[in-house]
Amino acid sequence: MTIAAYVRLSSEKKDEAEIENWLQYRGIDRYQVEWIGDKENDRKRFDKLQQAIESGQVKCVVLWKLDRLSRRLRDTVNILADWANRGLKLVVVSQRLEIDGSEGRKIATLLKGLVEIEQAFRKERQEAGIAVARKKGIYKGRKKGTTKTRPERARQLKESGLSPAAIATELGISKRTIFRHCRQGIELKNSSQPPT
């Protein structure tokens, strides 16, 4: 397998038809392509695609739209950067994008810079809002123990064989948080086992 087509199952027919047109135009038989589809909120097959990319089995990924990678810009940029560093070719049919190698790294670097600028603006706005709320006496902060992602999802991805870096990219959290989630999982497992 060297070419993979990643589609969203909710709009699979549209995605598939457009990707097939692109393949035909390039003289590629659809049966030479590994078709990978996920539901919107279930990305198990995407995890398998990531593993195939990491192992070097996939050299080109074809998508209908860039948002198929992730709904969040930051995650999409991280995925693009990771794939560009691996020398993967990415084709986005609807947006007429074909990026690979050094070109992909340049685009990913540019997008990363834009995301960082947006994050800095967001943080400034958040801090200003918190300052106003504190003055009014209504700011209470985040509840202790809340997390950005479900810890069990990080543990599932780890058990499926994904590297901490790939999990961090997928979930949009730091590797340190992943290690903490996985360590908590081991502690939970050990505490639930009866003493011998």
Q: What is the mean pLDDT of each successive set of 10 residues along the chain, which is 196 residues long?
A: 80 76 87 82 82 89 85 80 85 84 74 78 87 85 64 81 80 81 64 50
Nearest CA to 93 among 67, 70, 64? Answer: 64
Residue with tokens 């949009």: 172
Distance of CA 106 to the CA centre of its chain: 19
* CB of 98 closer than 8 Å to CB of 89: yes
Q: State how far the alpha carbon of 179 is from the alpha carbons of 43, 44, 148, 161, in Å.
A: 21, 20, 14, 14
pLDDT for position 196: 47
Nearest to 93 by CA among 115, 71, 60, 70: 60
Residue 37 forms beta bridges with which residues?
A: 7
How many other β-carbons are positioned within 10 Å of the β-carbon of residue 171?
18
Q: Which residue has the tokens 């198929």?
A: 68
Domains along the sequence of the chain with CATH: 3-106 (3.40.50.1390), 151-190 (no CATH)
Burial class (CB in 10 A: 0-12, 13-18, 19+), 88: buried
Q: What local confidence, expressed as pLDDT, does residue 12 receive?
A: 56
- φ and ψ at residue 161, rounded to 5 degrees: 105, 0
